[in-house]
Chain A
Amino acid sequence: MIRCECPKEAVSQSNFSPGIVANDEMIVYALVNPLTSSVGQISKSQLKEARLSVCRASYITGPSAKQKTVDVLLASNVTRTHEGYLKATCEEIRGVKLGRSTTGAFCVIDDALKDYSAHAHLGYSEPSDPKLRNDRETARANLMLVFKKRGVSTVWAGDPFIK
């Protein structure tokens, strides 16, 4: 289903991608302190740029997912710590609305890398109207509720990681 607020969702963004992100896919958001461990710490600037990195759990093994999401961040700064991961279905993420409208607040866009085909981006949907500031704040907070619904997981296992 094509969503007007997320035109990029409808077209695969990378030659390395397994395809556009389907609603039934599980999306993993790695928690690395201090980058992403606190309740509200989903970077707004990354959401605005549609560059919040997440992992498509159907297209990667558990250990590889950890390597690509957590280990990379830990390697670049020794003060960081790994605190597990959150997960939500793509449908749940796309189901977060902007204010009282029926417009989806977030887009889930495939953005596979050559050595990381399960890579995807989350971003705010269009338009980027400053008057929607409170609605976007609300959407971000509700996105965290969606992610937190299943709790924090710490086991990076499975092939695929999560089916």
Chain B
Amino acid sequence: MTRVVVTSVGVIGPTATTWPGFVEALREGRAGGGPVTLFDASAFPTRIAAEVQGFDPAAALGEALRRCEGLACDVAPEEDRKTALGVAAALQCADAAAESAWGGRRLGVHLGTGLSSVTQAEVEAELAPWLDGEGRFDAAGYGAAAAGLASSAPWRHLTDEANRLILAALGASGPTTSNFSACAASAQAIGRAFLDIRSGRVVRALAGGMDSMVHPFGMISFMRLGALSTRNEAPLGASRPFDRARDGFLLGEGAAVLLLEEATAAAARGAEILAEIVGFGTSIDAHLITAPHPEGRGARLAMERALRDAGLEAGAIDYINAHGTGTPLNDSTESLAIASLWRGRGLEPPQVSSTKSMTGHLIAAAGAIEAAACVAALREGFLPPSIHIEALDPACEVPVVEATRGVPADVRYAMSNSFGFGGQNASLIFKRWEG
């Protein structure tokens, strides 16, 4: 049986921009979040977000382009922010591994991604001049002006641009997928890479995801859905999954990328093994595009499928990193799904926490940064806390890790849940590396 292991992690997130920093923040229960600085949100009903601090997209892309070595990649420096985040996390992950990890051309790259990240400057410079009095966009006028720009300008926001740039920067040419499954996207990407390696088709793959919806159109669309917390006066306590007073999620941004390898190949190059991936399951709610199934039917099915895929009984799971967005509906239906799966088998559910209480909701990148959190929990032996809980919602009948810091524990198996708009659900199961 081919085994799949994690040998390197790159994280560019709201709580830290390195893997060791991320682990430390997770252990200390440190939250990201503050007033929006990426654009002027002062007139928006929600004016807070968990931004990545001190990130320079142009520098990150410049570094990737430098590595493309003579390949004429005319990427505009004002590239899509989520692309820059994804490229930076992937290179961080690759750099942390020895070059032996990605040398050879069959390295795969699988990333979950979201909608375009549009900057305020871009809207002002490139959209606004081509609007008439009724707000109609003059595409031909825009095109006439864009013809004078770099030919890649209209391609800036393509979903798979980060994949192509990472492959070119690493000189790799393996299979690549760009997964668009809303908030389940990067869990799907990691699952896809896991299946590719387990089936023997590739030996190594970078897998994870990236997103940044912290821009005027991104934030406003979540606000219209009523999904964002409006605790503008207390951004650091705005993300409170499982709390009775939760009022929506804190929008986060960032990227995380894992290096997955076939276990014997990792051992052969002397790689340090951080954790193992043992199961992956997906499902669809087939209920509504706009809301989860009231009993968490799809969520439960994804978890069951992941357990079956791993050949595990439910009782083996020590920790669940919940999707736990902090919207009233998600946390109660997810709790219901967990409770019914475990209690239906006469078992008490495992410890559950939402690390979104610290990172905010990274949307398409959520599954990736939460996979990283599971790797940290297994390797370092602690349960990541669910912070900001003042009064646990009685509708969430699961054992929640109510704590302000990581709780030392013997964690052998960790499950990570990711559920997306449109009803796509994905669960991954990670195992402590025991050789």
A-B interaction: no
Task: List B residues at the A interface (Cβ < 8 Å).
Answer: none
